[in-house]
Chain A
Amino acid sequence: MSNSINILLMVLAVNACVLAVACAALYRLNKAVDQFDR
């Protein structure tokens, strides 16, 4: 049981970190071209 909770916590932690970095990168890229978009 405790192993399952550990796996779940790791899944949440790793995914939150990776997806947060991905979202931040995409947000900055999107913002950089916003003013030039047609």
Chain B
Amino acid sequence: MHLIPQSWSHLHILVSVFPSVGLIFVLGFFITALATKNEVIKRSCLVLFGILALLAIPTFLSGLGSMELLSQDAKISQSVMNAHYYWGLGALAILLITGGYAVVELWRVGKPSDQALKAMLGLAGLTVILMIVVDEMGWEISHHELQRVVTGAEAATATPQAWSHVHMILNHFPTVGWVMALTFYVIALVANNDALKRGGLVVFVILAIVGVPTYVTGAAAMWALTVPPIPEISKAVINAHRDMALWTLFGLGFTGVTAWVELWRYRYIGRFSNTSLYWVLAFAIITLGIMAETGHRGGQINHPEIRVATDVLPTDPTAGISPALELLINNVIWFVPWQTVHFFGFTLIFATVLIVVLRILGFWKSVPFSAVHRLLPIGVVAVVMNVFTGMLMLLADTYRYVVNDYTFAPKIAFIPIGATAVLYFSLSDRLWKLKAGEDAPAFAKAVAILVLVCWAGVIACGRLLPYL
């Protein structure tokens, strides 16, 4: 990986994701700060609005440089590039106003008024909406495979390009989101602010959950790009990206679980353990490094414009960890044991979910919520078991799962919804204070039903895989 981009296009691909995807995360923290009236988070967000606004400058300049370079390519549509340019100009201008306003208010009055904060919220929200349009147009410029229509006999075996599109959107969240979460987390550690520490840990957990559909859509995108083959796309380069994605999944898993354990333990001890917080930081930094390399290898798949003469791309499609694992797991002696672990995993998840959900819905009211809260680690450990055994089973026949099995996509969609909703059980103050004999709030009951439906859906869709 070359740490310093050596072309305008490369710089543009790297920098442009921060004013768009990065802004979504800052906006999320900003809304949390306004809702909880936390001054440290508010100030951190205002500074980050300013930094993202500054990034508008290299984004614009690298965009101009890329346009000049890409306009020589006959395959690139000038009209799409112009539309991307003008919409991007509008979005960056509003971002500059938002960031400038935030920094000036912070510097002038120190503590901006509620009206000023609401105005910044509106401007940042508008920037995000415009950025979504700009990003879509940006992908249209060089990702022509998204428009590919396969006809004739090959259509029967082709994978919909929608998978590639979804992967392209999803993979920016764990990567860019990680940088933003890490930034907030470091601020939290320096400022010793518990609310911000909590926010950072929550985002690490959510991004670890998002890692699952990102990995799965990546496997589907691989088939969409290779069957039938696209001449300029190499399976060997995809495999190199896939190998790194596997390590990323481990990194996300380690950081996400360590972060969740700290959030869970906080409930009992009433303070964060510095040792654990620094373990989370160490895991997060290592994961960021792995993710940067994964992203770089992913970019090399279909961005010839960022390659440099010294780049040596892999050429052997059978080399690497993923193809070796595919071969190994296809052997029944390796597949069946991991499948058995997977079944143990989902029984543990469903048992934990059922007990917690039934208490929230009004069964066993004699039990305080804190008693069932202690069972949550069983479900989380089981989720980790199942993510990794599921990933191994997926490797046995990715094509069949993602292309031929109709219940695979809903199964993968249910997992992050169910897992994120379970996070609510770990964090909710109102639930934690629920004493024996008390009824849970209506919102908690709604989440409980959602959780039950999602995990029942995961199991049902998983069981139906061989048949539908």
Chain A residues at the B interface, C-beta cutoff of 8 Å:
3, 6-7, 10-11, 13-15, 18-19, 22, 25-26, 29-30, 32-33, 36-38
Tell whether, in the assembled complex, residue B377 and residue A14 are in contact, meaning their CB atoms are under 8 Å apart. no
Docked CA distance A17–B260 (Å) = 23
Q: Which A residue sits closest to B378, measured CB to CB?
A: A26
Q: Is the CB of B269 within 8 A of A33?
A: yes
17 contacts between A and B (CB under 8 A): A3-B333, A7-B332, A7-B333, A7-B337, A10-B337, A11-B340, A14-B338, A18-B344, A25-B377, A25-B381, A26-B377, A26-B378, A30-B377, A33-B269, A36-B268, A36-B270, A37-B370
CA distance A35 to B377 in the complex (A): 17
Besides A14-B340, A15-B340, A33-B374, 18 new A-B residue pairs in contact (Cβ under 8 A), listed by A number:
A7-B336, A10-B334, A10-B336, A13-B337, A14-B337, A19-B341, A19-B344, A22-B382, A25-B377, A25-B381, A26-B377, A26-B381, A29-B265, A30-B374, A32-B265, A36-B270, A37-B370, A37-B374
List chain B residues, Cβ under 8 A from A7. 332-333, 336-337
Please measure, in the bound complex, the distance between the C-alpha atom of A3 and the C-alpha atom of B333, giving whole angstroms.
8
Residue from B270, B344, B381 with most neighbouring chain A CB atoms (10 Å): B381
Nearest-neighbour CB distance to chain B for A15, whole angstroms, equals: 6
**Minimum CB distance partner of B269 in chain A:** A36
Question: What residues of chain A lie closer than 8 Å to B265, measured between beta carbons?
Answer: 29, 32-33
Which residues of the partner chain A approach B277 to less than 8 Å between Cβ atoms? none
Are A18 and B385 closer than 8 Å at their CB atoms?
A: yes
A36 to B271, CA, bound (A): 11
The listed residue with most B CB atoms (<10 A of its CB), out of A3, A18, A19, is: A18
Residues of B within 8 A of A22 (CB): 381-382, 385
A33, B344: Cβ atoms closer than 8 Å: no
How many A-B pairs have beta carbons closer than 8 Å: the answer is: 54
* Bitwise interface map of B from 311 to 335 toward A, beta carbon under 8 Å scored 1, else 0: 0000000000000000000001110
Interface status of B394 (Cβ within 8 A of chain A): no
**Identity of the chain A residue whose Cβ is nearest the Cβ of B370 in the assembled complex:** A38
Which residue on A lies nearest to B261, using beta carbons? A29
For A19, what are the chain B residues with a Cβ–Cβ distance below 8 Å? 341, 344
B interface residues with partner A (beta carbon < 8 Å): 261, 264-265, 268-270, 332-334, 336-338, 340-341, 344, 368, 370, 374, 377-378, 381-382, 385
Contacts of B377 in A (CB 8 A): 25-26, 29-30
List the 5 closest pairs (A to B, CB-CB), nearest first: A14-B337, A33-B268, A36-B268, A11-B337, A10-B337
- Residues on A with beta carbons closer than 8 Å to the beta carbon of B336: 7, 10-11
Contacts of B340 in A (CB 8 A): 11, 14-15
Q: Which residues of B contact A30 (CB under 8 A)?
A: 374, 377
| Distance to closest chain A CB from B106 (angstroms) | 39
Nearest-CB distance from A36 to chain B (Å)? Answer: 4
Give B376 Cβ to nearest chain A Cβ, in Å.
10
Contact B341 A15 (CB under 8 A): yes
State A22–B381 Cα separation when bound (angstroms): 7
Chain A residues in 8 Å Cβ range of B368: 38
**Chain A residues within an 8 Å CB radius of B261:** 29
